Amino acid sequence: MKGISISPFPKGWDEGYGLLADLHDAAFSPQGDRPWSAGEFRQLVESSGVEVFLAHQGDELLGFMIVRTICDEAELISIGVDPAHRGKGVGGSLLDEVTRKLMTANVQSFFLEVREDNPAALRLYQSRGFNQSGRRPGYYQTQSGSRVDALCLTLILAVDPNQTK
């Protein structure tokens, strides 16, 4: 998909929290996940070390990515793509741009949890060099009450020279 732009979410953008909640609902409710509210997004986005990146084409919001950075580690908290735009490179564009920003900021590792039953996300992360580093049994609870394991994935962005001595 051509013309995808990635930009930071402006903290304090009141209407934006609702847009994030709507997009999260569209992206995750079909697989049984509980959607996050605008208030939950506001609380998370306003937290220390949290950044949100938006993928858009003109004024159309295509996806988002939420990352928390602490010291030299970053965690991908959530990434969501509008179902109408899946498979068009939106998720990859978000992941690539944010990874570049993290490397520029000297972040050394980037980690995430992903549902083991989400093959599209697993393919995306593996295509970008993420490797499985663990498993969290029953980590995700669906709206129906069933539990799904999370796979822990890590991407090493830089090697700390002090750890190689």
Q: Which residues are known catalytic residues?
A: 113, 125
What type of residue sits at position 9?
F
Q: How many Å apart are CA 162 and CA 35, to the nearest integer?
A: 42
- Alpha carbons 164 and 31: distance in angstroms, whole number: 42
The two structure tokens encoding residue 40? 């939950």
